Amino acid sequence: MHDPRPASGLTRRDLLRGALIMGTTTGLFAGQAQAGPLRQTPALHSSGRSVAIFGGGVAGLSAAHELIERGYEVTVYEPSYLGGKARSMGVPGTGTGGRADLPGEHGFRFFPGCYQNIPETMSRIPFPGNANGVAGNLVRVDGAIAGFRDLPPIFTPVELTGLRHLTPELLQTAIITAFGFIPQLPPLELAFFARQIALWFTSSNERRYGQWEYVTWEAMLQADGKSAAYREYLVSALTRITVAAKPHLSSARTIGTIGEALVLAGTGLIPQFSGGIDRILSGPTNEAWIDPWVTYLRSRGVVFVMGRRATRLQLRNGVIAGVTVTGAGGTSTVRADWYVCAMPVDKTTPLLSGDILDADPHLAGMSELITDWMVGIQYYLRQPTRLPQGHIAALGTPWALTALRQAPMWRGDFAARYGDGTVRECLSVDVSDWDSPGILYGRTAKDCTAEEIAAEVWAQLKRWLNTGTGWLHDADIHFWHLDPGVSWSGGGIHNETPLLVNTVGSYDKRPHAHCAIPNLFFGGDHVRSHIDLATMESANESGRAITNAVLDAAGDPAPRVTIHPLVSLPVFEPLKQLDADRFRRGLPHVMDA
For residues 393 and 147, what is the distance between their CA atoms, to the nearest angstrom? 6
For each of the chain's 593 residues, which pLDDT tens digit applies?
A: 333 233 333 443 344 334 333 333 333 333 344 333 333 444 444 568 999 999 999 999 999 999 999 999 999 999 999 999 999 999 999 999 999 999 999 998 889 999 999 999 999 999 999 999 999 999 998 888 999 999 999 998 777 767 778 999 999 999 999 899 999 999 999 999 999 999 999 999 999 999 999 999 999 999 999 999 999 999 998 887 666 678 999 999 999 999 999 999 988 899 998 877 889 999 999 999 999 999 999 999 999 999 999 999 999 999 999 999 999 889 999 999 999 999 999 999 999 999 999 999 999 999 999 999 999 999 999 999 989 888 899 999 999 999 999 999 999 999 999 999 999 999 999 999 999 999 999 999 999 999 999 999 999 999 999 999 999 999 999 999 999 999 999 889 999 999 999 999 999 999 999 999 999 999 999 999 999 889 999 999 999 999 999 999 999 999 999 999 999 999 999 999 999 999 999 999 999 97
Rounded to 10°, the helix 12-26/573-584 angle is: 110
**Among candidates 133, 116, 139, which has minimal Cα distance to 272?**
116
For residues 169 and 464, what is the distance between their CA atoms, to the nearest angstrom? 34
pLDDT at 274: 80
Strands 73-78 and 50-54: parallel
Give me the sign of the Cα torsion angle 366, 367, 368, 374: positive
User: What is the CATH T-level fold of the domain 50-80+307-371+499-554, as seen in this structure?
Assistant: FAD/NAD(P)-binding domain (3.50.50)
Amino acid identity for residue 338 in this structure: W
Return the CATH class of domain 85-116+133-142+278-283+374-495.
alpha beta
Q: Are 152 and 467 in contact (CB under 8 A)?
A: yes
- 312 dihedral zone (left: phi>0; alpha: psi -120 to 50; beta): beta
Residues 6+ away with beta carbon under 8 Å from 525: 59, 344, 499, 500, 533, 534, 535, 536, 538, 539, 542
Amino acid identity for residue 370 in this structure: I
- 301 dihedral zone (left: phi>0; alpha: psi -120 to 50; beta): left
pLDDT at 42: 43
Residues 6+ away with beta carbon under 8 Å from 32: 26
Q: Are 256 and 212 in contact (CB under 8 A)?
A: yes
For residues 550 and 413, what is the distance between their CA atoms, to the nearest angstrom? 45
pLDDT at 31: 38
Q: Are 304 and 53 in contact (CB under 8 A)?
A: no
Give the helix, strand, coil percentages of the chain, each rounded to 5: 35, 20, 45
Q: Are 499 and 374 in contact (CB under 8 A)?
A: yes
3-state DSSP assignment of residue 464:
helix
How many C-beta neighbours within 10 Å does residue 468 have? 9
Q: Could you say which DSSP state residue 173 is in? A: H
Q: Is the pTM of this model over 0.85?
A: yes
Domain ranges in the chain?
12-26+159-276+568-584, 50-80+307-371+499-554, 85-116+133-142+278-283+374-495
pLDDT at 22: 38
For residues 425 and 407, what is the distance between their CA atoms, to the nearest angstrom? 5
Q: Are 121 and 59 in contact (CB under 8 A)?
A: no
pLDDT at 242: 66
For residues 157 and 400, what is the distance between their CA atoms, to the nearest angstrom? 21
3-state DSSP assignment of residue 74:
strand
**Among candidates 137, 181, 135, which has minimal Cα distance to 157?**
181
pLDDT at 7: 37
Amino acid identity for residue 299 in this structure: S
